[in-house]
Structure 1
Amino acid sequence: MRVNTILMATVLFFATAASIGAQAAEPRHFSFAYDQPHTTAYGIAADTFANKLQELSKSTMIIDQFPGAQLGQEPQVLQKLRTGDIDFAITSTANSATVQPEAGVFSIHFVFRSEDHLKKALADPAVVAAFKEMMNSKVEGAHTLALGTMGFRDIYSKREIHNLSDLKNVKVRVQATATEDTMFPAYGAQTVHMPFGDVYTSLQTGVVEAAENGINVYQMNKHYEVAPIMSLTEHEANNNIIWVSDKVWNSLNDEQKRWVQAAADEVGRTMPDKAFGLEHESMARLEKMGVKFVKEVDKSGFVKEAEP
Protein backbone atom coordinates (compact mmCIF):
# COMPACT_ATOMS: atom_id res chain seq x y z
CA MET A 1 0.00 0.00 0.00
CA ARG A 2 2.81 2.36 0.95
CA VAL A 3 4.58 1.57 -2.35
CA ASN A 4 1.44 2.38 -4.33
CA THR A 5 1.02 5.65 -2.47
CA ILE A 6 4.59 6.66 -3.19
CA LEU A 7 4.23 5.65 -6.84
CA MET A 8 1.04 7.67 -7.24
CA ALA A 9 2.61 10.70 -5.57
CA THR A 10 5.59 10.47 -7.90
CA VAL A 11 3.37 10.28 -10.99
CA LEU A 12 1.32 13.26 -9.81
CA PHE A 13 4.48 15.25 -9.11
CA PHE A 14 5.89 14.77 -12.60
CA ALA A 15 2.51 15.38 -14.24
CA THR A 16 2.11 18.64 -12.34
CA ALA A 17 5.68 19.68 -13.10
CA ALA A 18 5.15 19.02 -16.80
CA SER A 19 1.96 21.08 -16.77
CA ILE A 20 3.65 23.99 -15.02
CA GLY A 21 6.57 23.77 -17.43
CA ALA A 22 4.27 23.93 -20.44
CA GLN A 23 2.45 26.95 -19.02
CA ALA A 24 5.72 28.70 -18.29
CA ALA A 25 7.22 27.89 -21.70
CA GLU A 26 9.14 30.73 -23.29
CA PRO A 27 7.23 32.64 -25.98
CA ARG A 28 8.39 32.17 -29.54
CA HIS A 29 10.43 35.08 -30.89
CA PHE A 30 10.54 36.20 -34.53
CA SER A 31 12.84 38.62 -36.36
CA PHE A 32 11.31 41.54 -38.29
CA ALA A 33 13.74 43.38 -40.57
CA TYR A 34 13.58 46.69 -42.42
CA ASP A 35 16.19 49.08 -43.78
CA GLN A 36 14.93 52.43 -42.47
CA PRO A 37 15.12 53.97 -38.97
CA HIS A 38 12.48 52.99 -36.44
CA THR A 39 11.26 56.61 -36.53
CA THR A 40 9.93 56.18 -40.08
CA ALA A 41 6.65 54.64 -41.28
CA TYR A 42 8.46 51.30 -41.41
CA GLY A 43 8.86 51.51 -37.64
CA ILE A 44 5.19 52.39 -37.22
CA ALA A 45 4.25 49.37 -39.33
CA ALA A 46 6.53 47.06 -37.36
CA ASP A 47 5.19 48.37 -34.03
CA THR A 48 1.59 47.93 -35.16
CA PHE A 49 2.27 44.40 -36.34
CA ALA A 50 4.21 43.44 -33.21
CA ASN A 51 1.66 44.85 -30.78
CA LYS A 52 -1.32 43.26 -32.52
CA LEU A 53 0.37 39.87 -32.82
CA GLN A 54 1.38 39.92 -29.17
CA GLU A 55 -2.19 40.83 -28.19
CA LEU A 56 -3.83 38.13 -30.31
CA SER A 57 -1.37 35.42 -29.33
CA LYS A 58 -1.52 36.35 -25.64
CA SER A 59 2.22 37.05 -25.70
CA THR A 60 3.16 33.66 -27.13
CA MET A 61 4.44 35.26 -30.37
CA ILE A 62 6.92 38.10 -29.91
CA ILE A 63 8.47 40.27 -32.62
CA ASP A 64 12.11 41.37 -32.33
CA GLN A 65 12.71 44.34 -34.62
CA PHE A 66 15.89 44.94 -36.62
CA PRO A 67 15.56 48.44 -38.15
CA GLY A 68 18.12 50.55 -39.98
CA ALA A 69 19.41 47.78 -42.28
CA GLN A 70 20.90 45.83 -39.36
CA LEU A 71 20.19 42.64 -41.32
CA GLY A 72 20.96 44.15 -44.74
CA GLN A 73 19.51 46.46 -47.36
CA GLU A 74 16.20 45.44 -48.91
CA PRO A 75 17.57 43.20 -51.70
CA GLN A 76 19.63 41.29 -49.10
CA VAL A 77 16.69 41.16 -46.67
CA LEU A 78 14.50 39.62 -49.37
CA GLN A 79 17.06 36.91 -50.06
CA LYS A 80 17.49 36.13 -46.34
CA LEU A 81 13.72 36.05 -45.94
CA ARG A 82 13.36 33.47 -48.70
CA THR A 83 16.07 31.25 -47.20
CA GLY A 84 14.42 31.46 -43.78
CA ASP A 85 17.21 33.46 -42.12
CA ILE A 86 14.76 36.33 -41.49
CA ASP A 87 11.21 35.69 -40.29
CA PHE A 88 9.28 38.85 -41.21
CA ALA A 89 10.17 41.93 -43.26
CA ILE A 90 8.79 45.03 -44.88
CA THR A 91 10.22 46.11 -48.23
CA SER A 92 9.26 48.47 -51.04
CA THR A 93 7.26 47.07 -53.94
CA ALA A 94 10.01 48.42 -56.20
CA ASN A 95 12.74 46.38 -54.53
CA SER A 96 10.37 43.42 -54.25
CA ALA A 97 10.36 43.36 -58.04
CA THR A 98 13.86 41.89 -57.82
CA VAL A 99 12.28 38.62 -56.64
CA GLN A 100 9.01 38.95 -58.56
CA PRO A 101 8.87 41.51 -61.42
CA GLU A 102 5.08 41.90 -61.18
CA ALA A 103 5.52 43.56 -57.77
CA GLY A 104 6.75 46.59 -59.66
CA VAL A 105 3.21 47.33 -60.87
CA PHE A 106 2.65 49.22 -57.61
CA SER A 107 5.75 51.32 -58.27
CA ILE A 108 5.01 52.40 -61.83
CA HIS A 109 5.38 56.16 -62.04
CA PHE A 110 2.30 58.38 -61.86
CA VAL A 111 -0.16 55.49 -61.52
CA PHE A 112 -1.32 57.10 -58.28
CA ARG A 113 -2.13 60.76 -58.83
CA SER A 114 -2.94 61.95 -55.30
CA GLU A 115 -2.88 61.03 -51.63
CA ASP A 116 -6.59 60.18 -51.68
CA HIS A 117 -6.22 58.08 -54.83
CA LEU A 118 -3.44 56.03 -53.25
CA LYS A 119 -5.30 55.56 -49.98
CA LYS A 120 -8.43 54.37 -51.78
CA ALA A 121 -6.48 51.86 -53.85
CA LEU A 122 -4.78 50.36 -50.80
CA ALA A 123 -8.10 50.22 -48.93
CA ASP A 124 -9.79 48.26 -51.73
CA PRO A 125 -9.99 44.59 -50.66
CA ALA A 126 -10.15 43.42 -54.28
CA VAL A 127 -6.94 45.27 -55.16
CA VAL A 128 -5.07 43.89 -52.16
CA ALA A 129 -6.39 40.36 -52.69
CA ALA A 130 -5.40 40.37 -56.37
CA PHE A 131 -1.89 41.57 -55.54
CA LYS A 132 -1.43 38.97 -52.79
CA GLU A 133 -2.71 36.18 -55.02
CA MET A 134 -0.33 37.21 -57.80
CA MET A 135 2.66 37.31 -55.45
CA ASN A 136 1.89 34.17 -53.46
CA SER A 137 1.34 32.11 -56.60
CA LYS A 138 4.80 32.97 -57.94
CA VAL A 139 7.25 33.85 -55.15
CA GLU A 140 9.11 30.92 -53.61
CA GLY A 141 10.34 31.05 -50.03
CA ALA A 142 8.17 33.93 -48.82
CA HIS A 143 4.51 34.76 -48.34
CA THR A 144 2.91 38.18 -48.91
CA LEU A 145 0.70 39.26 -45.99
CA ALA A 146 -0.32 42.86 -46.68
CA LEU A 147 0.31 46.09 -48.57
CA GLY A 148 1.26 49.40 -47.01
CA THR A 149 2.73 52.73 -48.05
CA MET A 150 5.12 55.44 -46.91
CA GLY A 151 3.53 58.06 -49.16
CA PHE A 152 5.14 59.39 -52.33
CA ARG A 153 8.73 59.63 -53.51
CA ASP A 154 10.16 63.04 -54.45
CA ILE A 155 13.49 64.26 -55.80
CA TYR A 156 16.01 66.03 -53.57
CA SER A 157 19.22 67.77 -54.54
CA LYS A 158 21.13 71.04 -54.31
CA ARG A 159 19.11 72.25 -57.29
CA GLU A 160 15.43 72.93 -57.90
CA ILE A 161 13.42 70.71 -60.22
CA HIS A 162 10.51 72.65 -61.69
CA ASN A 163 9.87 70.59 -64.82
CA LEU A 164 11.18 67.73 -66.94
CA SER A 165 14.01 69.74 -68.51
CA ASP A 166 15.56 70.46 -65.10
CA LEU A 167 16.40 66.77 -64.71
CA LYS A 168 18.32 66.44 -67.98
CA ASN A 169 21.73 64.79 -67.48
CA VAL A 170 21.37 64.91 -63.69
CA LYS A 171 22.96 61.92 -61.93
CA VAL A 172 20.20 60.48 -59.73
CA ARG A 173 20.55 57.64 -57.25
CA VAL A 174 17.60 55.32 -57.84
CA GLN A 175 16.50 51.90 -56.65
CA ALA A 176 18.08 49.16 -58.74
CA THR A 177 14.90 48.06 -60.50
CA ALA A 178 13.68 47.84 -64.06
CA THR A 179 11.05 50.51 -63.39
CA GLU A 180 13.58 53.12 -62.26
CA ASP A 181 16.06 52.19 -64.99
CA THR A 182 13.33 52.74 -67.57
CA MET A 183 11.64 55.84 -66.20
CA PHE A 184 14.52 58.07 -65.14
CA PRO A 185 16.45 57.80 -68.42
CA ALA A 186 13.17 58.66 -70.17
CA TYR A 187 13.16 61.85 -68.09
CA GLY A 188 16.69 62.59 -69.31
CA ALA A 189 18.45 61.69 -66.05
CA GLN A 190 21.46 59.44 -65.53
CA THR A 191 20.67 56.62 -63.10
CA VAL A 192 23.13 55.49 -60.45
CA HIS A 193 22.71 52.43 -58.22
CA MET A 194 24.12 52.15 -54.71
CA PRO A 195 23.06 50.87 -51.28
CA PHE A 196 20.81 53.33 -49.47
CA GLY A 197 23.41 53.71 -46.72
CA ASP A 198 25.85 55.25 -49.23
CA VAL A 199 23.48 57.96 -50.48
CA TYR A 200 24.41 60.64 -47.92
CA THR A 201 28.14 60.51 -48.68
CA SER A 202 27.54 60.26 -52.42
CA LEU A 203 25.41 63.41 -52.37
CA GLN A 204 28.01 65.12 -50.23
CA THR A 205 30.91 64.26 -52.55
CA GLY A 206 29.06 64.71 -55.84
CA VAL A 207 29.09 61.07 -56.88
CA VAL A 208 25.38 61.70 -57.43
CA GLU A 209 23.62 65.04 -57.81
CA ALA A 210 20.19 63.97 -56.65
CA ALA A 211 18.28 61.16 -54.98
CA GLU A 212 14.61 60.32 -54.49
CA ASN A 213 12.58 59.12 -51.55
CA GLY A 214 9.83 60.12 -49.15
CA ILE A 215 9.95 63.28 -47.04
CA ASN A 216 10.13 61.49 -43.70
CA VAL A 217 12.90 59.16 -44.90
CA TYR A 218 14.77 62.23 -46.22
CA GLN A 219 14.46 63.87 -42.80
CA MET A 220 15.27 60.88 -40.60
CA ASN A 221 18.41 60.04 -42.59
CA LYS A 222 19.47 63.72 -42.56
CA HIS A 223 19.88 63.86 -46.31
CA TYR A 224 18.71 67.49 -46.16
CA GLU A 225 22.18 68.33 -44.80
CA VAL A 226 23.75 67.57 -48.18
CA ALA A 227 20.72 68.07 -50.46
CA PRO A 228 18.71 70.97 -49.00
CA ILE A 229 16.08 71.25 -51.75
CA MET A 230 13.22 68.79 -52.21
CA SER A 231 11.09 69.03 -55.35
CA LEU A 232 7.66 67.46 -54.91
CA THR A 233 7.53 65.42 -58.10
CA GLU A 234 5.44 62.70 -56.39
CA HIS A 235 6.53 60.49 -59.26
CA GLU A 236 6.15 57.17 -57.47
CA ALA A 237 4.07 55.77 -54.64
CA ASN A 238 6.41 54.51 -51.94
CA ASN A 239 4.40 51.31 -51.46
CA ASN A 240 5.50 48.38 -49.33
CA ILE A 241 4.90 44.68 -48.74
CA ILE A 242 4.70 42.92 -45.37
CA TRP A 243 6.35 39.51 -45.78
CA VAL A 244 6.71 36.31 -43.79
CA SER A 245 9.18 33.58 -44.70
CA ASP A 246 7.70 30.29 -45.87
CA LYS A 247 9.83 28.59 -43.21
CA VAL A 248 7.90 30.43 -40.48
CA TRP A 249 4.52 30.38 -42.23
CA ASN A 250 4.62 26.63 -42.74
CA SER A 251 5.58 26.09 -39.09
CA LEU A 252 2.45 27.83 -37.77
CA ASN A 253 -0.84 26.15 -36.98
CA ASP A 254 -4.08 27.53 -38.43
CA GLU A 255 -4.84 29.70 -35.42
CA GLN A 256 -1.36 31.23 -35.42
CA LYS A 257 -1.66 31.96 -39.13
CA ARG A 258 -4.92 33.80 -38.45
CA TRP A 259 -3.19 35.88 -35.78
CA VAL A 260 -0.33 36.75 -38.12
CA GLN A 261 -2.68 37.67 -40.96
CA ALA A 262 -4.85 39.78 -38.65
CA ALA A 263 -1.79 41.67 -37.41
CA ALA A 264 -0.69 42.32 -41.00
CA ASP A 265 -4.20 43.44 -41.95
CA GLU A 266 -4.05 45.95 -39.09
CA VAL A 267 -0.90 47.40 -40.67
CA GLY A 268 -2.57 47.60 -44.07
CA ARG A 269 -5.59 49.35 -42.56
CA THR A 270 -3.74 51.95 -40.49
CA MET A 271 -0.40 52.55 -42.21
CA PRO A 272 -1.50 54.89 -45.06
CA ASP A 273 -3.00 57.54 -42.76
CA LYS A 274 -0.11 57.32 -40.31
CA ALA A 275 2.48 57.44 -43.08
CA PHE A 276 1.01 60.51 -44.75
CA GLY A 277 0.74 62.11 -41.31
CA LEU A 278 4.48 61.60 -40.88
CA GLU A 279 5.13 63.09 -44.32
CA HIS A 280 3.20 66.25 -43.46
CA GLU A 281 4.89 66.57 -40.06
CA SER A 282 8.33 66.11 -41.59
CA MET A 283 7.70 68.78 -44.21
CA ALA A 284 6.63 71.27 -41.54
CA ARG A 285 9.72 70.53 -39.43
CA LEU A 286 12.09 70.71 -42.39
CA GLU A 287 10.66 74.01 -43.59
CA LYS A 288 11.30 75.49 -40.14
CA MET A 289 14.89 74.25 -40.46
CA GLY A 290 15.32 76.09 -43.76
CA VAL A 291 14.85 73.26 -46.24
CA LYS A 292 13.26 74.48 -49.46
CA PHE A 293 10.34 72.60 -51.00
CA VAL A 294 9.46 73.15 -54.65
CA LYS A 295 5.73 72.55 -54.38
CA GLU A 296 4.52 73.61 -57.82
CA VAL A 297 6.38 71.14 -60.01
CA ASP A 298 5.05 70.93 -63.56
CA LYS A 299 4.52 67.18 -63.78
CA SER A 300 3.05 67.14 -67.29
CA GLY A 301 6.34 66.33 -69.01
CA PHE A 302 7.10 63.53 -66.57
CA VAL A 303 3.61 62.08 -66.92
CA LYS A 304 3.87 62.12 -70.71
CA GLU A 305 7.18 60.22 -70.65
CA ALA A 306 5.81 57.74 -68.12
CA GLU A 307 2.82 56.80 -70.25
CA PRO A 308 3.04 53.33 -71.88
Structure 2
Amino acid sequence: MRQWARLVLAVWLCVAAGAAAGCGTSRAGEPADGRIRAVATTGMVADLVRNVGGGRVAVTALMGPGVDPHLFKASEGDMARLQQAQIVFYNGLHLEGRMGDILEKMARDKPTVAVAERIPEELLLMAEDGVPDPHVWFDVSLWMLAVDIVRDSLIELDPAGRSVYEQNAAVYREELAELDRYARAQLNTVPAGRRVLVTAHDAFGYFGRAYGIEVRGLQGISTATEYGLADLRQLVDLLVERQIKAVFIESSVPRSSVEALVEGAAARGHAVAIGGELFSDALGAEGTPEGTYAGMIRHNVDTIVAALR
Protein backbone atom coordinates (compact mmCIF):
# COMPACT_ATOMS: atom_id res chain seq x y z
CA MET A 1 0.00 0.00 0.00
CA ARG A 2 2.82 2.44 0.82
CA GLN A 3 4.44 1.88 -2.57
CA TRP A 4 1.10 2.44 -4.31
CA ALA A 5 0.55 5.68 -2.33
CA ARG A 6 4.01 6.95 -3.29
CA LEU A 7 3.30 6.24 -6.96
CA VAL A 8 -0.03 8.06 -6.87
CA LEU A 9 1.58 11.05 -5.14
CA ALA A 10 4.42 11.15 -7.66
CA VAL A 11 1.99 11.12 -10.58
CA TRP A 12 -0.12 13.87 -9.00
CA LEU A 13 2.95 16.06 -8.50
CA CYS A 14 4.06 15.42 -12.07
CA VAL A 15 0.69 16.43 -13.46
CA ALA A 16 0.54 19.50 -11.22
CA ALA A 17 3.94 20.62 -12.39
CA GLY A 18 2.91 20.20 -16.04
CA ALA A 19 5.20 20.45 -19.01
CA ALA A 20 7.60 22.74 -17.14
CA ALA A 21 8.56 19.79 -15.01
CA GLY A 22 9.13 17.61 -18.07
CA CYS A 23 6.02 15.45 -17.75
CA GLY A 24 4.70 16.39 -21.18
CA THR A 25 1.04 16.85 -20.18
CA SER A 26 -1.31 19.82 -20.13
CA ARG A 27 -3.93 18.23 -17.87
CA ALA A 28 -3.99 14.99 -15.93
CA GLY A 29 -3.55 12.13 -18.37
CA GLU A 30 -3.87 14.33 -21.47
CA PRO A 31 -0.95 14.85 -23.89
CA ALA A 32 0.08 18.42 -24.63
CA ASP A 33 -1.17 17.98 -28.23
CA GLY A 34 -4.71 17.22 -27.02
CA ARG A 35 -4.79 13.55 -27.98
CA ILE A 36 -6.40 10.98 -25.72
CA ARG A 37 -3.76 9.21 -23.64
CA ALA A 38 -4.33 5.44 -23.73
CA VAL A 39 -2.23 2.69 -22.18
CA ALA A 40 -2.45 -0.92 -23.34
CA THR A 41 -0.80 -3.95 -21.79
CA THR A 42 0.23 -6.21 -24.68
CA GLY A 43 1.43 -5.30 -28.14
CA MET A 44 -1.61 -6.95 -29.72
CA VAL A 45 -4.03 -4.77 -27.72
CA ALA A 46 -1.94 -1.64 -28.30
CA ASP A 47 -1.92 -2.23 -32.07
CA LEU A 48 -5.68 -2.63 -32.01
CA VAL A 49 -6.16 0.67 -30.17
CA ARG A 50 -3.78 2.48 -32.54
CA ASN A 51 -5.71 1.30 -35.58
CA VAL A 52 -9.07 2.38 -34.19
CA GLY A 53 -7.91 5.52 -32.40
CA GLY A 54 -5.86 6.90 -35.26
CA GLY A 55 -4.59 10.44 -34.79
CA ARG A 56 -6.91 11.18 -31.87
CA VAL A 57 -5.26 8.70 -29.49
CA ALA A 58 -1.68 8.41 -28.19
CA VAL A 59 -1.08 4.76 -27.26
CA THR A 60 1.59 3.40 -24.93
CA ALA A 61 2.21 -0.35 -24.71
CA LEU A 62 3.58 -1.67 -21.43
CA MET A 63 4.91 -4.96 -22.79
CA GLY A 64 7.41 -4.96 -25.61
CA PRO A 65 8.74 -7.68 -27.94
CA GLY A 66 9.55 -10.98 -26.30
CA VAL A 67 7.76 -10.14 -23.04
CA ASP A 68 5.64 -12.91 -21.52
CA PRO A 69 2.40 -11.34 -20.22
CA HIS A 70 1.69 -14.33 -17.99
CA LEU A 71 4.78 -13.50 -15.93
CA PHE A 72 4.97 -9.72 -16.44
CA LYS A 73 5.41 -7.61 -13.31
CA ALA A 74 4.69 -3.88 -13.57
CA SER A 75 7.50 -1.49 -12.66
CA GLU A 76 7.07 1.85 -10.92
CA GLY A 77 7.31 3.51 -14.33
CA ASP A 78 4.54 1.27 -15.66
CA MET A 79 2.36 2.18 -12.70
CA ALA A 80 2.94 5.87 -13.33
CA ARG A 81 1.95 5.46 -16.99
CA LEU A 82 -1.23 3.64 -15.96
CA GLN A 83 -2.09 6.42 -13.51
CA GLN A 84 -1.61 9.14 -16.14
CA ALA A 85 -3.71 7.36 -18.76
CA GLN A 86 -7.23 8.53 -19.51
CA ILE A 87 -8.22 5.02 -20.58
CA VAL A 88 -6.59 1.62 -20.13
CA PHE A 89 -7.01 -1.37 -22.44
CA TYR A 90 -5.91 -4.90 -21.59
CA ASN A 91 -6.64 -8.42 -22.76
CA GLY A 92 -8.09 -9.90 -19.58
CA LEU A 93 -9.10 -13.53 -18.96
CA HIS A 94 -6.05 -13.74 -16.67
CA LEU A 95 -3.53 -13.24 -19.48
CA GLU A 96 -1.84 -10.46 -17.49
CA GLY A 97 -1.71 -12.76 -14.46
CA ARG A 98 0.26 -10.69 -11.97
CA MET A 99 -1.39 -7.41 -13.02
CA GLY A 100 -4.98 -8.60 -12.75
CA ASP A 101 -5.73 -7.13 -9.34
CA ILE A 102 -4.10 -3.80 -10.20
CA LEU A 103 -6.16 -3.42 -13.37
CA GLU A 104 -9.41 -4.33 -11.63
CA LYS A 105 -8.78 -1.74 -8.89
CA MET A 106 -7.91 0.89 -11.49
CA ALA A 107 -11.35 0.44 -13.05
CA ARG A 108 -12.83 2.31 -10.06
CA ASP A 109 -11.12 5.52 -11.14
CA LYS A 110 -11.04 5.49 -14.96
CA PRO A 111 -12.28 3.52 -17.99
CA THR A 112 -10.43 0.21 -17.92
CA VAL A 113 -11.39 -2.17 -20.72
CA ALA A 114 -10.65 -5.91 -20.78
CA VAL A 115 -11.31 -6.51 -24.47
CA ALA A 116 -11.30 -10.33 -24.41
CA GLU A 117 -13.71 -10.43 -21.49
CA ARG A 118 -16.33 -8.56 -23.54
CA ILE A 119 -16.35 -11.22 -26.26
CA PRO A 120 -19.44 -13.46 -25.81
CA GLU A 121 -18.59 -16.29 -23.44
CA GLU A 122 -20.01 -18.94 -25.76
CA LEU A 123 -17.25 -18.10 -28.28
CA LEU A 124 -14.43 -18.67 -25.79
CA LEU A 125 -12.42 -21.85 -25.37
CA MET A 126 -12.17 -23.36 -21.91
CA ALA A 127 -9.17 -25.20 -20.48
CA GLU A 128 -9.61 -28.49 -18.68
CA ASP A 129 -9.81 -26.68 -15.33
CA GLY A 130 -12.66 -24.50 -16.59
CA VAL A 131 -10.53 -21.36 -16.98
CA PRO A 132 -11.11 -19.43 -20.24
CA ASP A 133 -8.27 -19.47 -22.75
CA PRO A 134 -7.14 -15.82 -23.06
CA HIS A 135 -5.38 -16.11 -26.45
CA VAL A 136 -8.40 -14.92 -28.44
CA TRP A 137 -6.36 -12.88 -30.96
CA PHE A 138 -5.30 -16.08 -32.74
CA ASP A 139 -8.79 -16.34 -34.23
CA VAL A 140 -8.84 -13.28 -36.47
CA SER A 141 -12.65 -13.33 -36.64
CA LEU A 142 -12.79 -12.99 -32.82
CA TRP A 143 -10.28 -10.14 -32.89
CA MET A 144 -12.62 -8.37 -35.29
CA LEU A 145 -15.16 -8.31 -32.43
CA ALA A 146 -12.50 -6.67 -30.27
CA VAL A 147 -12.32 -3.85 -32.85
CA ASP A 148 -15.92 -2.94 -32.03
CA ILE A 149 -15.22 -3.09 -28.30
CA VAL A 150 -12.35 -0.60 -28.61
CA ARG A 151 -14.39 1.63 -30.94
CA ASP A 152 -17.32 1.83 -28.52
CA SER A 153 -15.05 2.46 -25.53
CA LEU A 154 -13.29 5.35 -27.27
CA ILE A 155 -16.59 6.87 -28.39
CA GLU A 156 -17.89 6.74 -24.82
CA LEU A 157 -14.79 8.57 -23.59
CA ASP A 158 -14.51 10.96 -26.56
CA PRO A 159 -17.91 11.46 -28.24
CA ALA A 160 -16.49 14.21 -30.47
CA GLY A 161 -14.35 11.60 -32.20
CA ARG A 162 -17.21 9.24 -33.05
CA SER A 163 -16.94 9.59 -36.82
CA VAL A 164 -13.17 9.05 -36.74
CA TYR A 165 -13.41 5.94 -34.57
CA GLU A 166 -16.27 4.50 -36.60
CA GLN A 167 -14.46 5.02 -39.90
CA ASN A 168 -11.15 3.66 -38.62
CA ALA A 169 -12.89 0.62 -37.13
CA ALA A 170 -14.70 -0.13 -40.39
CA VAL A 171 -11.47 0.08 -42.41
CA TYR A 172 -9.56 -2.07 -39.94
CA ARG A 173 -12.31 -4.70 -39.78
CA GLU A 174 -12.06 -5.09 -43.55
CA GLU A 175 -8.27 -5.47 -43.29
CA LEU A 176 -8.74 -8.19 -40.70
CA ALA A 177 -11.39 -9.92 -42.82
CA GLU A 178 -8.82 -10.12 -45.63
CA LEU A 179 -6.22 -11.41 -43.16
CA ASP A 180 -8.63 -14.12 -42.03
CA ARG A 181 -9.19 -15.20 -45.66
CA TYR A 182 -5.43 -15.25 -46.26
CA ALA A 183 -4.76 -17.46 -43.22
CA ARG A 184 -7.50 -19.89 -44.19
CA ALA A 185 -6.36 -20.17 -47.81
CA GLN A 186 -2.68 -20.68 -46.96
CA LEU A 187 -3.24 -23.24 -44.22
CA ASN A 188 -5.57 -25.21 -46.48
CA THR A 189 -2.55 -25.91 -48.70
CA VAL A 190 -1.10 -28.13 -45.95
CA PRO A 191 -2.33 -31.75 -46.28
CA ALA A 192 -4.82 -32.55 -43.52
CA GLY A 193 -2.64 -35.28 -42.01
CA ARG A 194 0.25 -32.85 -41.53
CA ARG A 195 -1.72 -30.09 -39.80
CA VAL A 196 -0.28 -30.65 -36.34
CA LEU A 197 1.19 -27.64 -34.54
CA VAL A 198 3.49 -28.49 -31.61
CA THR A 199 4.72 -25.54 -29.53
CA ALA A 200 6.10 -24.68 -26.10
CA HIS A 201 2.79 -23.74 -24.51
CA ASP A 202 -0.85 -24.07 -25.44
CA ALA A 203 -1.37 -20.59 -26.88
CA PHE A 204 -2.75 -21.60 -30.28
CA GLY A 205 -6.08 -23.20 -29.38
CA TYR A 206 -8.16 -20.51 -31.08
CA PHE A 207 -5.87 -20.67 -34.10
CA GLY A 208 -6.40 -24.41 -34.34
CA ARG A 209 -10.18 -24.17 -33.99
CA ALA A 210 -10.46 -21.39 -36.56
CA TYR A 211 -8.18 -22.86 -39.23
CA GLY A 212 -8.42 -26.61 -38.81
CA ILE A 213 -5.07 -27.26 -37.12
CA GLU A 214 -4.47 -29.81 -34.35
CA VAL A 215 -2.56 -27.98 -31.61
CA ARG A 216 -0.37 -29.52 -28.92
CA GLY A 217 1.57 -27.54 -26.31
CA LEU A 218 4.10 -28.76 -23.78
CA GLN A 219 2.81 -26.36 -21.12
CA GLY A 220 -0.77 -25.31 -20.46
CA ILE A 221 -2.42 -22.06 -21.56
CA SER A 222 -0.20 -20.15 -19.11
CA THR A 223 3.59 -20.29 -19.12
CA ALA A 224 3.37 -20.07 -15.33
CA THR A 225 2.31 -23.73 -15.45
CA GLU A 226 5.21 -26.13 -15.04
CA TYR A 227 5.56 -29.14 -17.31
CA GLY A 228 6.94 -32.47 -16.14
CA LEU A 229 8.66 -35.51 -17.60
CA ALA A 230 5.30 -37.16 -18.24
CA ASP A 231 4.23 -34.19 -20.41
CA LEU A 232 7.52 -34.32 -22.31
CA ARG A 233 7.28 -38.08 -22.84
CA GLN A 234 3.70 -37.83 -24.07
CA LEU A 235 4.58 -35.25 -26.73
CA VAL A 236 7.66 -37.19 -27.84
CA ASP A 237 5.42 -40.26 -28.26
CA LEU A 238 3.12 -38.16 -30.46
CA LEU A 239 6.01 -36.92 -32.61
CA VAL A 240 7.36 -40.43 -33.14
CA GLU A 241 4.08 -42.29 -33.64
CA ARG A 242 2.69 -39.77 -36.13
CA GLN A 243 6.04 -39.01 -37.77
CA ILE A 244 5.65 -35.26 -37.23
CA LYS A 245 8.60 -33.51 -38.85
CA ALA A 246 8.60 -30.04 -37.26
CA VAL A 247 8.00 -28.28 -33.95
CA PHE A 248 8.03 -24.55 -33.25
CA ILE A 249 9.63 -22.22 -30.73
CA GLU A 250 7.92 -19.03 -29.48
CA SER A 251 9.46 -15.56 -29.26
CA SER A 252 8.28 -15.00 -25.67
CA VAL A 253 9.06 -18.48 -24.27
CA PRO A 254 12.53 -20.00 -23.68
CA ARG A 255 13.37 -22.45 -26.46
CA SER A 256 14.80 -25.09 -24.12
CA SER A 257 11.48 -26.93 -23.73
CA VAL A 258 11.07 -27.37 -27.49
CA GLU A 259 14.71 -28.39 -27.85
CA ALA A 260 14.03 -31.11 -25.26
CA LEU A 261 11.29 -32.43 -27.54
CA VAL A 262 13.69 -32.55 -30.48
CA GLU A 263 16.30 -34.38 -28.40
CA GLY A 264 13.72 -36.81 -27.03
CA ALA A 265 12.51 -37.71 -30.52
CA ALA A 266 16.09 -38.10 -31.76
CA ALA A 267 16.76 -40.57 -28.94
CA ARG A 268 13.87 -42.61 -30.33
CA GLY A 269 15.32 -42.53 -33.84
CA HIS A 270 12.99 -39.87 -35.23
CA ALA A 271 14.39 -36.61 -36.64
CA VAL A 272 12.36 -33.50 -35.84
CA ALA A 273 13.34 -30.02 -37.02
CA ILE A 274 12.55 -26.68 -35.40
CA GLY A 275 10.23 -25.27 -38.02
CA GLY A 276 10.79 -21.66 -37.06
CA GLU A 277 9.91 -19.05 -34.46
CA LEU A 278 6.28 -18.08 -33.90
CA PHE A 279 4.98 -14.98 -32.19
CA SER A 280 2.49 -16.02 -29.55
CA ASP A 281 2.06 -13.71 -26.55
CA ALA A 282 4.05 -10.75 -27.90
CA LEU A 283 4.55 -8.96 -31.20
CA GLY A 284 7.87 -8.59 -32.97
CA ALA A 285 10.16 -5.58 -32.84
CA GLU A 286 8.70 -2.17 -33.59
CA GLY A 287 9.21 -1.16 -37.21
CA THR A 288 9.20 -4.75 -38.51
CA PRO A 289 6.22 -6.45 -40.20
CA GLU A 290 5.88 -8.71 -37.14
CA GLY A 291 5.62 -5.60 -34.96
CA THR A 292 1.96 -5.30 -35.97
CA TYR A 293 -0.88 -7.71 -35.27
CA ALA A 294 -1.57 -8.36 -38.96
CA GLY A 295 2.13 -8.85 -39.70
CA MET A 296 2.50 -11.23 -36.78
CA ILE A 297 -0.39 -13.39 -37.97
CA ARG A 298 0.96 -13.48 -41.53
CA HIS A 299 4.42 -14.40 -40.28
CA ASN A 300 3.03 -17.25 -38.18
CA VAL A 301 0.88 -18.59 -41.01
CA ASP A 302 3.74 -18.45 -43.52
CA THR A 303 6.17 -20.10 -41.08
CA ILE A 304 3.77 -22.92 -40.23
CA VAL A 305 2.88 -23.57 -43.86
CA ALA A 306 6.52 -23.63 -44.98
CA ALA A 307 7.47 -26.13 -42.27
CA LEU A 308 4.46 -28.47 -42.48
CA ARG A 309 3.74 -28.47 -46.20
Give the shorter-chain TM-score range.
0.3 to 0.5
Relative to the length of structure 1, the TM-score reads 0.32
Relative to the length of structure 2, the TM-score reads 0.32
Q: Which structure's residues are more often strand, by fraction?
A: 1
Based on CA coordinates, which of the two structures has the bigger radius of gyration? 1
Higher relative contact order structure (alpha carbons within 8 Å, sequence separation ≥ 6) = 1
